Amino acid sequence: MADTLTITDNRTGKTYEIPVQDGAVRAIDLRKIKTDPDDFGLIAYDPAFTNTGSCRSAITFIDGDRGILEYRGYPIEQIAEHATHLETAYLLLFGELPTRAQLDEWTRVITQHTIPHENIKKFMDGYRYDAHPMGILLSTVGALSTFYPDARDIFDAQSRRIQTVRLIAKVPSIAAWAYRHLTGQPYVYPDGDLSYTGNLLNMLFKGTELKYQPHPVLERALDVLFVLHADHEQNCSTNAMRAIGSSHVDPFSAMAGAIAALYGPLHGGANEQVLRMLQEIGSVDHVPAFIKAVKAGEGKKLMGFGHRVYKSYDPRAKIIKKTADMVFAVTGRNPLLDIALELERIALEDEYFVSRKLYPNVDFYSGLIYQAMGFPVEMFPVLFAIPRTAGWIAQWEEMLLDSEQKIARPRQIYTGAARRDFVPIERR
Ligand code: ACO
């Protein structure tokens, strides 16, 4: 049997044979299907890219029907159990798990680059007292391009490597400073003795003590959450990173766009919305009424439920539930957990959610953990952006080095007015 697709165009009666490779046809092959020589040819119409592969990628594998997530072939459950976030970032970026010596060197280099330029502190001071930290993060990361003009040299491997280190090292510092700005506290400099997440907790929560000691359980829990958020193939923000990067702009500018995409309530802003939703519901007794309103389509969604790719339980949500137990053992149980559990219980039995294959996604429980750890809701998307930095850069670099990639530029079906003559203003 041939690996081809035979298409008959019923407009002309002509038949075309199109190659099928890796379960895909190339949309450009449709172009030869024309009604006459002047016809532009067929295009594939796919708003929101629900069935379009935009790239070949060797980084992350998802099987949404079976609830499988793998980074470079390793199951997420195994990575979350055994690896740190920096180890995971190394795996995503360089394709293999680091040896002990490679991990030590990677950790040393990242630690060395954690301090942002002093001028960054000055302009961060200029944001309004209540500025959303995600807004601060996205604009500050964009501004990094002005500090590192060498980042424009995107086809130089050495330059890409140094920008990668800068981003992974400095994003937590900027994120923590954005939080300190929101809370009106002085910025805390990185502590090189601490782990990646231990140092982040230090920069976020250090008070008057001379040396901040992160709680080991919270430090590890944050690390697990970071591992789970490190990459997720062609999601909205990664697609933004690749699309912006395809214009060959520097990675700081591209990543500012990716952070902006993540900020939205349908993406990384969802965990913030989950918490707001749980607070609005207020008590377990109000859950049935809330579910009823969601099903009636009264403008409400069950935030933290549903996923474009997962049509079964998000494997990350399962791990997060376990992490929540670990954290609550230290911080005390988050009172909103009961509402979340009841929502999940009802939704998993309800025909509306079952028939649409709506299951809890990664954001359903992460917000509860972050809240128990003392983060305000505004920090939730920021805590998503920090680990996703590794995934964004890995995907950006893969796109740059892929000889099939060009500037991302979709087509459209024009639905506007037909050609008409300009009407002078006095005759309109
Ligand atoms: N609550 C209620 N109904 C929902 C939900 C939800 N959370 N999600 C989807 N649906 C319904 C839709 O209304 C639609 O119903 P219909 O067929 O009767 O019209 C059906 O399920 C299919 O949903 P779509 O919107 O077509 O699915 P899509 O793949 O476009 O959206 C998305 C995926 C954006 C994640 C959606 O499920 C959603 O808005 N969820 C809530 C926000 C959220 O949790 N986002 C985080 C995603 S994970 C991440 O980004 C890290």
Tens digit of each residue's pLDDT (9 = 90 or more) over 228-237? 999 999 999 9
Distance CA 37, CA 11 (A): 14
Q: What digits encode the pLDDT tens for the residues 242-258?
A: 999 999 999 999 999 99
Does the pLDDT of residue 49 top 90, yes or no? Answer: yes
Compute the distance from residue 307 Cα to the ligand 1 centre, in Å.
6
Give the model's pLDDT for residue 269.
84
Q: Is the dihedral of CA 77, 114, 328, 343 positive or negative?
A: negative
Residue pair 233/245 in contact by the 8 Å Cβ criterion: no
Distance CA 354, CA 368 (A): 24
Does the pLDDT of residue 146 top 90, yes or no? Answer: yes
Buried b or exposed e, range 14-38, using 16+ CB within 10 angstroms: eeeeeeeeeeebeeebbeebbeeee
Distance CA 10, CA 16 (A): 11
Best residue among 60, 308, 313 to mutate for probing ligand 1, ranked by most atoms within 8 Å of CB: 308
Best residue among 356, 365, 366, 380 to mutate for probing ligand 1, ranked by most atoms within 8 Å of CB: 356
Distance of CA 254 to the CA centre of its chain: 14
Name the residue at shortest CA distance from atom 29 of ligand 1: 308
Give the list of residues 6+ apart from residue 47 with CB closer than 8 angstroms, or none: none
Residue pair 393/238 in contact by the 8 Å Cβ criterion: no
Q: What is the mean pLDDT of residues 329-346?
A: 92
Give the model's pLDDT for residue 334.
85
Does the pLDDT of residue 202 top 90, yes or no? Answer: yes
Distance CA 191, CA 82 (A): 24
Compute the distance from residue 216 Cα to the ligand 1 centre, in Å.
36
Residue pair 290/343 in contact by the 8 Å Cβ criterion: yes
pTM of structure:
0.93
Q: What is the mean pLDDT of residues 14-28?
A: 97
Give the model's pLDDT for residue 333.
87
pLDDT-based confidence at residue 114 (cuts at 50, 70, 90): very high
Does the pLDDT of residue 298 top 90, yes or no? Answer: no
Give the model's pLDDT for residue 167.
98
Give the model's pLDDT for residue 335.
85
Q: Is 9 helix (H, G, I), strand (E, B) or coil?
A: strand
DSSP 214: -
- With vertex at residue 226, the alpha carbon angle to CA 220 and CA 232, rounded to the nearest 5 degrees, is 150
Give the model's pLDDT for residue 314.
87
Counting other chains too, the contacts that 262-265 makes at CB distance below 8 Å and 24 or more residues apart are 262/134, 262/236, 262/237, 262/381, 262/384, 262/385, 262/388, 263/134, 263/135, 263/138, 263/381, 264/236, 265/303
Q: What is the mean pLDDT of residues 40-46?
A: 97
Give the model's pLDDT for residue 321.
87
Compute the distance from residue 391 Cα to the ligand 1 centre, in Å.
23
Which range is least confidently modeled, 94-98, 159-163, 267-271? 267-271
Give the model's pLDDT for residue 285.
95
Which residues on adjacent β-strands are paired with residue 71?
60, 74
Give the model's pLDDT for residue 41.
97
Q: What digits encode the pLDDT tens for the residues 349-387?
A: 999 999 999 998 888 889 899 999 999 999 999 999 999
In whole angstroms, how large is the CA radius of gyration of the chain?
Answer: 24
Residue percentage of the chain with pLDDT more than 70: 100
Which residues on adjacent β-strands are paired with residue 14?
9
Name the residue at shortest CA distance from atom 34 of ligand 1: 266
Looking at every residue in the chain, the average pLDDT score rounds to 96
User: Pairing state of beta strands 4-9 and 60-63?
Assistant: unpaired
Q: Is 44 helix (H, G, I), strand (E, B) or coil?
A: coil
Compute the distance from residue 357 Cα to the ligand 1 centre, in Å.
10
Give the model's pLDDT for residue 200.
98
Residue 336 burial by Cβ neighbours in a 10 Å radius (0-12, 13-18, 19+): buried
CA distances from 8 to 5, 27, 33 (A): 10, 16, 9
Residue pair 52/61 in contact by the 8 Å Cβ criterion: no
Q: How many C-beta atoms lie closer than 10 Å to residue 259's C-beta?
A: 28
Residues near ligand 1 (Cβ within 6 A):
266-268, 270, 294, 301-308, 356, 358, 361-363
Tokens 């000889």 identify what position? Answer: 403
Compute the distance from residue 270 Cα to the ligand 1 centre, in Å.
11
Which range is least confidently modeled, 17-31, 99-113, 370-384? 370-384
Best residue among 314, 361, 364 to mutate for probing ligand 1, ranked by most atoms within 8 Å of CB: 361
Does the pLDDT of residue 54 top 90, yes or no? Answer: yes
Distance CA 61, CA 70 (A): 5
Name the residue at shortest CA distance from atom 41 of ligand 1: 303
Q: What is the mean pLDDT of residues 160-179?
A: 98
pLDDT-based confidence at residue 201 (cuts at 50, 70, 90): very high
- Catalogue the active-site residues: 267, 307, 363
Distance CA 70, CA 129 (A): 41
Q: What is the mean pLDDT of residues 41-51?
A: 97
Residue percentage of the chain with pLDDT more than 90: 89
Give the model's pLDDT for residue 83.
98
Which of 386, 404, 403 lies closest to 268, judged by CA?
A: 386
**H helix intervals, 264-417:** 270-281, 287-295, 315-331, 337-349, 351-355, 363-372, 380-401
Q: What digits encode the pLDDT tens for the residues 379-406?
A: 999 999 999 999 999 999 999 999 999 9
Give the model's pLDDT for residue 100.
98
Give the model's pLDDT for residue 270.
85
Q: What angle, 0 to 180 degrees and rounded to 10, lies between the N-to-C axes of helices 251-263 and 157-182?
A: 40
Distance CA 274, CA 160 (A): 36
